[in-house]
Amino acid sequence: MFVPQFHFSQIDQELLSTGTAARLLTACALGGAVGLEREWRHKASGLRTNMLLCLGCAFFTLLSAALVNDGYADKSRVASNIVQGIGFLGAGIILHTRDRIVGLTSAATVFVIASIGMACGAGLYLEAVLATIITLVALALVGYVESRAGWKHITMFYEVRGSDQAAMYIAVLSVLDRMSIRLNIVERDTVGEMIRMTFAVATNRRHHALLLRELQSTSATDQVVVTRDPEEE
């Protein structure tokens, strides 16, 4: 059985290292640009994750070009293995809860970051920069447009507080029924004489504003606190 031996002379290493630094640094910079946006949104795949991921893909791509010159394998084999590995990594980011799926955007971002890193490793700087710009626009600008247009449903947690449990429950159910929203209680407890109930609602911004106004206007609720789901994309 043939066992490949890697023999890189000093000249080979110098030729290989000529563009290596630029490619790896570019991969880190572009991965970090997307990572900053993810970090700002407090996502699991933040700055360091995206930088290292982009760097790793770029370096694997560089190594695939070096190894094929030594008669070991074709370039496509390393690239296909990178894609498979990124698929496993992206699958680990996706979380499936009882009523929804979160992490799809982060998983898709990881997949794109891998392709940007591979482009940097191949020396395709213009294509890598263009892909990074498109990714940032898709994450920031398109998400903003979706939110403002009312297309995107956002999950918010409503914490309703009151002293009369029966009246508070009836008032909340009445408001939700009028808006055709099902009550999905996340947590409920009692603090002294105060009853606290937390439930999640997924709808657009306009309906959230209307729901908050309706809950605050009823006399059965003493206070309504709204917080955004930290896992929301």
Residue 129 DSSP class = H
* pTM greater than 0.85 (yes/no): no
- Number of folded domains that form the chain: 2
The predicted model gives 10-38 an average pLDDT of: 78
- Position 136 confidence tier, pLDDT thresholds 50, 70, 90: very high
* Domain ranges, residue 78: 10-149
Q: How far apart are CA 31 and CA 24, in angstroms?
A: 10
Q: What is the SS3 assignment for 207-224? A: HHHHHHHHHHHCCCCCEE
Q: How far apart are CA 70 and CA 31, in angstroms?
A: 30
The predicted model gives 93-111 an average pLDDT of: 74
**CATH code of residue 172:** 3.30.70.260
Q: Please tell me whether residues 27 and 77 are part of one structural domain.
A: yes
Tens-place pLDDT, residues 161-209: 988 888 888 888 898 888 888 887 778 888 778 888 888 888 888 888 8
164 CA to centre of own chain: 41
Q: How far apart are CA 214 and CA 171, in angstroms?
A: 10
Tens-place pLDDT, residues 67-79: 665 555 566 667 7
Kindly report the backbone phi and psi dihedral angles of residue 59, in degrees, each rounded to the nearest multiple of 5, phi listed first.
-70, -40
Domain end, chosen from 149, 175, 207, is at: 149
Q: Please tell me whether residues 112 and 133 are part of one structural domain.
A: yes
212 CA to centre of own chain: 28
Q: With contact defined as beta carbons under 8 Å apart, do 179 and 207 qualify?
A: yes
